[in-house]
Structure 1
């Protein structure tokens, strides 16, 4: 297939990994980067406009849409694949000549943060909506989506792999991820308990005064291979879910074990299905159980490493790369189902045929 891929293309982004996954699956892929629209530079005119108007800067939107339309005219894509493009002009995206138009939401598609009024008005016009949240499937169908595909999150072997340490220190416990209200109290409490034996990295953590007053090592975000190097320095890698997205698994579910880290995460049905508790991961249901796990890791470092190694093997041999997810999505579009997802929900075949006729007619 010829795929015109629209999404944020910064190094280490999930969108870049999925675009590369389609290429690795054998497709011809051209990427249009939307980073300057979705993540404008702080205090720049587009950033100020978005903060004061609640919308993306129209001049930036026009630039990205002109690029999409210019490339599509020459490339003549079979598939326009949009990775969380809720802030772009939906009518212009859907009007781009292509046989199929697919929107991918990596987070909870019912969380207002991950949608926009413009997207919601046009959601039912997409040929397929892909979500990584199983609970979104019936919700999207109820909203009128023509067809919905659930896929698990994934890891990218280019970034998430066994890595040599760049930090000579070893940490008993660590968390690499965004600072969020539902993670802050637990993380600060752990930092007070473990001090310099704890590493915390990610956006926003250095702006938490209570965390900075501890002896924990706190740093900014790490992406790409730098993520794996950080994981290599941590004995017990915490995997916190995002309650706003009602997560039952997350990208870190795959990225931490793929990088060789010991997965210490919240107990969910999806986590238990992906990794064998006690043999390939360690799961907790509350803070007391998490502390018990950390005490065990401190007392049994060799056994903890063995569990990490087993978790690594399970993930890297389990078809959880972005190329595997790309293959699942394409198989669904072609009428099959090639992976652990639920397949397409909704009147898919009728809708796909209608989509082909409309899009080809638009050419």
Structure 2
């Protein structure tokens, strides 16, 4: 098929990985980058406009739509797939000539943060809405969406694979991900307990004053292959969920074991379906249970390394690449 893909195209983005997944699955793919609209550069005029008005810069929105329409005229796509396109003009996207119009939502579409009034007005007009949240299926159907598809998140083998460490320092426990209110207190408590044996990386963490003086290494985000190099520095890689999205799995569910890291994550039904607790990962439901896992990681590095290898084999052999998700979407369209 000919696929016109509208989504963020920066290195490490899930949208870029899914677009490449369609290409790897054998489709002709043209990408239109929506990053100028979704993530305007800090202190740029579009960023200042958004801060002042709460809206996206109309000149950037117009520029993206012009590129979409030009690409559609040249490609004549069988599918227009919009990845998290709530900030674009929905009517204009849906009017773009294409055989099918598909919207992919990587986050909870019942969380107001992940929608817009314009998106909700036009949501039922999409031929297919794809969600990575199982609980969204019934909710989208109740909102009038005719066809809904649940797919899990995925990993990108171009980036998420075992790689050599780029630093000689190693950590007992680490978390790579954004600061969120539901993660703050527990992460600070771990940093106070484990000090220099803990690594925290991601947007927002360096601004948390409670982390200063704990001895933990706190740094900014990492993307692409650099993520895998950081995973290699950590014995127990935490997979923390987003309660606002009612997550029962996340991208890290696949990325950590694909990168060869030991998956230490919150206990959910989906995590238990994907990996066997105790032999392919370690799951916890309480701080005490997590501490027992970390004690085991400190005392038996060889044993937990074998658990990490088993988790890597399970995920990489289980059909969880973006190419596999692209095939699930095209199968649903067929």
Provide the TM-score with structure 1 as the length reference: 0.91
1:130 corresponding residue in structure 2 = 130
Deviations 1:218-255 (A, max 9, x none): 11000000000000000000000000000000000000
Alignment of 1:258-337 (within 5 A): 258-334=258-334
Alignment of 1:202-217 (within 5 A): 202-217=202-217
Matched, 1:20 2:20: yes
Deviations 1:162-190 (A, max 9, x none): 01001101100000111111001111111
2:164 corresponding residue in structure 1 = 164
Q: CA deviation at 1:45?
A: 1.4
Matched residues in 1 for 2:71 and 2:149: separation? 27
| Secondary structure class of the residue paired with 1:173 | strand
Matched residues in 2 for 1:11 and 1:85: separation? 18
Where structure 2 has 5 or more consecutive residues not aligned to the other structure, the ranges are none
Matched residues in 2 for 1:202 and 1:106: separation? 19
Matched residues in 1 for 2:28 and 2:241: separation? 34
Q: CA deviation at 1:278?
A: 0.4
Deviations 1:190-240 (A, max 9, x none): 111111111111111111111122100111000000000000000000000
1:146 corresponding residue in structure 2 = 146
1:5 corresponding residue in structure 2 = 5
Matched residues in 1 for 2:48 and 2:310: separation? 48
Deviations 1:60-95 (A, max 9, x none): 100000110111111100100000000000000000
Aligned length in residues: 334
Alignment of 1:27-66 (within 5 A): 27-66=27-66
Range moving further from structure 2, 185-194 or 127-136? 185-194
| Secondary structure class of the residue paired with 2:3 | strand
Q: CA deviation at 1:53?
A: 1.4
Matched residues in 1 for 2:212 and 2:220: separation? 12
2:78 corresponding residue in structure 1 = 78
Provide the TM-score with structure 2 as the length reference: 0.99
Q: CA deviation at 1:117?
A: 0.4
Matched residues in 1 for 2:213 and 2:156: separation? 35
Matched residues in 2 for 1:116 and 1:288: separation? 40
Matched residues in 2 for 1:286 and 1:167: separation? 31
| Secondary structure class of the residue paired with 1:160 | coil
Q: CA deviation at 1:115?
A: 0.3
Kindly report structure 1 stretches of 4+ aligned residues shifted beyond 3 Å. Answer: none
Matched residues in 2 for 1:74 and 1:238: separation? 45
| Secondary structure class of the residue paired with 2:134 | coil
Matched, 1:67 2:36: no
Matched residues in 1 for 2:245 and 2:217: separation? 28
| Secondary structure class of the residue paired with 2:293 | helix
2:109 corresponding residue in structure 1 = 109
Q: CA deviation at 1:55?
A: 1.1
Matched residues in 2 for 1:131 and 1:323: separation? 16
Q: CA deviation at 1:41?
A: 1.0
